[in-house]
Structure formats: structure tokens, C-alpha cells
Copies of this chain bind each other. A is one copy, B any other.
Amino acid sequence: MKGELRFIGTVERIENEEAEIAIFPEFCPGLRGIENYSHLIILYWLHQRDTAEQRQVLQVIPKRHPGAPLVGVFASRSPTRPNPIGMCVVELIRVENCRLCVKGLDAVEGSPIVDIKPYLPRADSVPGARAPEWMSHGPTT
């Protein structure tokens, strides 16, 4: 009933909207061809929420969205959740050796990287998806 993750890299630097992700050298061959995508899906570890206490929380009032009600963590993008994995769609700015420069990553410096997947509009883009009213106020997630 458990899974083990090995971190593949780290968020090294965040400046304005751009973040630099350093992939550990042993995982670097996994980046081959990634420059052919304009957008990526980054899965990262919300390490600051990786405590027994935080991982037991199942309902939250999302602070960043004025008017939000009490909701389950699976009905919110709260960083507090049983498995502290963050997911973010980012724009790929450039790749240099084992480093990715991306735009729009909602992580903090030092966040471990769990996985990187190419963004595929055919599978991942649903422009008309419906979300509750309170989600349209405040930041995008």
C-alpha cells in the first residue's frame, strides 16, 4: 500500500516567473528530445508539507481564493494533501545540459522534482472544463 519515489532533480532558482530545474546527472539521459515540446508537466515534492500532521489533513478552506468554502483536499489544489505532490504546467524556455529553464512553476527553491512529462494538448487540454465559481478568483491554482 506504499510507493517509493526517488527524486530526479531540484528546483534551484526562482526569479520572477522563471525557474531553473537541475536534473541530477544520473537521470540526464531521460531528457533527450525534451526541447521539442513547448510545455511540460512538472511533478514535484511539496517537501515543506511532508510531515505526518500535514499529511493527515483531508479538508481545507483554500486561503488564496476569497469566498472559498470548506472542501476536500482532492477538490482543491492545496499543497496540504496525503501525498504532497505538486503538479504544474510550465512553458519550457530552454534546455542546457541537465538544466531546464521554465516559466510558471508554482514551487519553491529546493523543491525536489519527482517526474517530468511532455504536455500533449490532445490529452491534457480541456479549455471548457467546469470549476466552481470561487476557483475563478485569485491565483490560477
A residues contacting B by CB (< 8 A) are: 1-8, 27, 29-34, 36-39, 41, 43, 45, 50, 55, 58-59, 69-77, 81-85, 87-89, 112, 114-132, 135-136, 140-141
Q: Please pick, from B77, B121, B123, B125, the residue contacting A117 in the complex, using a CB distance under 8 A.
A: B77
Complex-state Cα separation, A22 to B116, whole angstroms: 27
| Copies, count | 2
B115 and A59 contact, CB distance less than 8 A: no
For residue A59, give the distance in angstroms from its CB to the closest CB of chain B.
6
By a CB distance below 8 angstroms, the chain B residues around A38 are 126, 129-131
Q: Contact at A141–B126, with CB atoms within 8 Å?
A: no
Q: 27 interchain pairs (CB within 8 A)?
A: A3-B5, A3-B114, A4-B4, A6-B83, A30-B59, A30-B72, A32-B70, A33-B71, A33-B75, A33-B76, A36-B131, A38-B129, A77-B120, A81-B115, A82-B115, A83-B114, A87-B87, A89-B123, A119-B126, A119-B131, A120-B141, A121-B126, A121-B127, A121-B128, A123-B140, A125-B125, A125-B129
